[in-house]
Amino acid sequence: MDYLQLQSSSAINGKIKISGAKNAALPLIASTILAKNNVNISNLPNVADINTLLMLLSNLGAKCKKGLHSVEIDTSKLTQTKATYDIVKTMRASILVLGPILARFGHCEVSLPGGCAIGQRPVDLHLKALEQMGAKIEIKSGYIEARAKEGLKACEIIFDKITVTGTANIVMAAALAHGTTTITNAAREPEVVQLCEILNQSGIEIEGIGTAVLKIHGNGGELIDMVDFSVIPDRIEAGTYLCAGAILNKELTITNAEPKHLGAVLSKFEEMGFGIKTTDTTITITPAKEIKPTKIVTQEYPAFPTDMQAQFLALATQANGVSIIEERLFENRFMHVSELQRMGADITLNGHTATIKGKSKLSGADVMATDLRASSALVLAGMIAKGTTNVHRIYHLDRGYESLEKKLQDVGVDIKRLKE
Ligand X SMILES: C=C(OP(=O)(O)O)C(=O)O
Closer residue to ligand UD1 in complex, CB, 8/370: 370
Of the candidates 116, 155, 196, 243, the residue annotated as catalytic is 116
Instruction: Confirm or reject binding of residue 373 to ligand X (CB under 6 A).
Output: yes
Strand partners, 353: 326, 350
- Could you tell me how far CA 325 lies from the centroid of its own chain? 20
Instruction: Confirm or reject binding of residue 369 to ligand X (CB under 6 A).
Output: no
Contacts of residue 390, defined as CB under 8 A and 6 or more positions apart, other chains included, come to: 3, 4, 5, 6, 364, 365, 366, 367, 418
By the 8 A CB rule, do 277 and 238 touch? no
Binding mask 298-337 toward ligand X (x if CB under 6 A, else -) reads ---------x------------------------------
Closer residue to ligand UD1 in complex, CB, 327/339: 327
Round to whole Å and give the CA distance between 38 and 223: 12
Closer residue to ligand X in complex, CB, 74/234: 234
Sign of CA dihedral 135, 98, 43, 232: positive
Instruction: Confirm or reject binding of residue 93 to ligand X (CB under 6 A).
Output: yes
The minimum distance between CB 91 and ligand X, in angstroms, equals 6
From the list ligand UD1, ligand X, none, partner contacted by residue 380 (C-beta under 5 to 8 A by kind)? none
Instruction: Confirm or reject binding of residue 124 to ligand UD1 (CB under 6 A).
Output: yes
The minimum distance between CB 307 and ligand X, in angstroms, equals 4
Select from 70-78, 122-130, 143-151, 360-368 the region that touches ligand UD1 (CB under 6 A). 122-130
Q: Is 116 annotated as catalytic?
A: yes
Instruction: Confirm or reject binding of residue 161 to ligand UD1 (CB under 6 A).
Output: yes
Closer residue to ligand X in complex, CB, 114/344: 114
The minimum distance between CB 204 and ligand UD1, in angstroms, equals 20
By the 8 A CB rule, do 316 and 294 touch? yes
From the list ligand X, ligand UD1, none, partner contacted by residue 125 (C-beta under 5 to 8 A by kind)? ligand UD1
**Among positions 111, 165, 194, 389, the unique one binding ligand UD1 when judged by CB under 6 A:** 165
Closer residue to ligand UD1 in complex, CB, 23/194: 23
Closer residue to ligand X in complex, CB, 319/372: 372
Strands of the sheet with 82-83, listed across from one edge? 82-83, 107-111, 143-147, 136-140
Burial of 417 (0-12, 13-18, 19+ CB in 10 A): middle
Round to whole Å and give the CA distance between 299 and 306: 7
By the 8 A CB rule, do 372 and 305 touch? no
**Among positions 32, 163, 294, 317, the unique one binding ligand UD1 when judged by CB under 6 A:** 163
Instruction: Confirm or reject binding of residue 26 to ligand UD1 (CB under 6 A).
Output: yes
From the list ligand UD1, ligand X, none, partner contacted by residue 373 (C-beta under 5 to 8 A by kind)? ligand X
**Among positions 14, 67, 122, 387, the unique one binding ligand UD1 when judged by CB under 6 A:** 122
Round to whole Å and give the CA distance between 18 and 256: 5
Per the annotation, binding residues for UDP-N-acetyl-alpha-D-glucosamine are 92, 121-125, 307, 329
Contacts of residue 362, defined as CB under 8 A and 6 or more positions apart, other chains included, come to: 317, 340, 343, 344, 345, 381, 384, 385, 386
Instruction: Confirm or reject binding of residue 23 to ligand X (CB under 6 A).
Output: yes
From the list ligand UD1, ligand X, none, partner contacted by residue 25 (C-beta under 5 to 8 A by kind)? none
Instruction: Confirm or reject binding of residue 52 to ligand X (CB under 6 A).
Output: no
Instruction: Confirm or reject binding of residue 92 to ligand X (CB under 6 A).
Output: yes
Which residues are part of the catalytic machinery? 116
Residues that bind ligand X (CB under 6 A): 23, 92-93, 307, 372-373, 400
Residues that bind ligand UD1 (CB under 6 A): 23, 26, 93, 119, 121-126, 161, 163-166, 191, 306-307, 329-330
